[in-house]
């Protein structure tokens, strides 16, 4: 699906169904556990169905020129779009984590509560 950030369009043949591993619209909640509790059952059902229908189908080839992408976003796009610390120039690791887990670009408010979760 053109414009879909869940799957790199260049890897999906024109006639293949689109696989979305992320929510379509940004969540308003700042609690990652709540976002995931809503997303995971729906995504598990989609993935199960897709794998049953297309599990042995090749979906494309990867080339070196494609570069590294995170949920469809290039590194420069991530550097531009993901939240940064006050006065910082690079994205917060928690913002990238949120993107990888949910497929959504988080807001600053969504990233702040996740800071320090690994320190407990």
Neighbours of 21 (CB within 10 A): 16
Residue 1 lies in a domain: no
Residue 37 confidence (pLDDT) above 70: yes
pLDDT attached to residue 95: 95
Region 19-37 average pLDDT: 65
Taking the CA atoms of 82, 99, 70 and 92 in sequence, report the sign of the dihedral they define. Answer: positive
- What span, in angstroms and rounded, lies between the C-alpha atoms of 74 and 110? 21
Confidence band, pLDDT 50/70/90 cuts, at residue 20: very low
DSSP code, position 101: H
Render pLDDT for 79-107 as a digit per residue (tens, 0 to 9): 999 999 989 999 999 999 999 999 999 99
* Total domains in the fold of the chain: 1
Confidence band, pLDDT 50/70/90 cuts, at residue 2: very low
Residue 56 lies in a domain: yes
pLDDT attached to residue 14: 43
Residue 120 lies in a domain: no
Strands (DSSP E) found in the chain: 69-70, 73-74
Region 18-39 average pLDDT: 66
Residue 4 lies in a domain: no
What's the domain range around 96? Answer: 9-115
Residue 102 lies in a domain: yes
Residue 17 confidence (pLDDT) above 60: no
């Amino acid at each position: 699906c053109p414009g879909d950030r869940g799957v790199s369009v260049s890897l999906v043949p024109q006639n293949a169904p689109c696989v979305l591993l992320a929510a379509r619209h940004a969540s308003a909640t700042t609690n990652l556990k709540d976002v995931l509790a809503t997303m995971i059952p729906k995504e598990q059902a989609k993935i199960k169905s897709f794998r049953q229908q297309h599990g042995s189908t090749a979906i494309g080839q990867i080339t070196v020129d494609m570069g590294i992408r995170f949920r469809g976003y290039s590194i420069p796009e991530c550097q531009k779009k993901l939240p940064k610390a006050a006065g910082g120039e690079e994205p917060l690791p928690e913002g990238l984590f949120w993107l990888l887990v949910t497929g959504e670009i988080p807001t600053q408010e969504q990233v702040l509560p996740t800071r320090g979760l690994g320190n407990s």
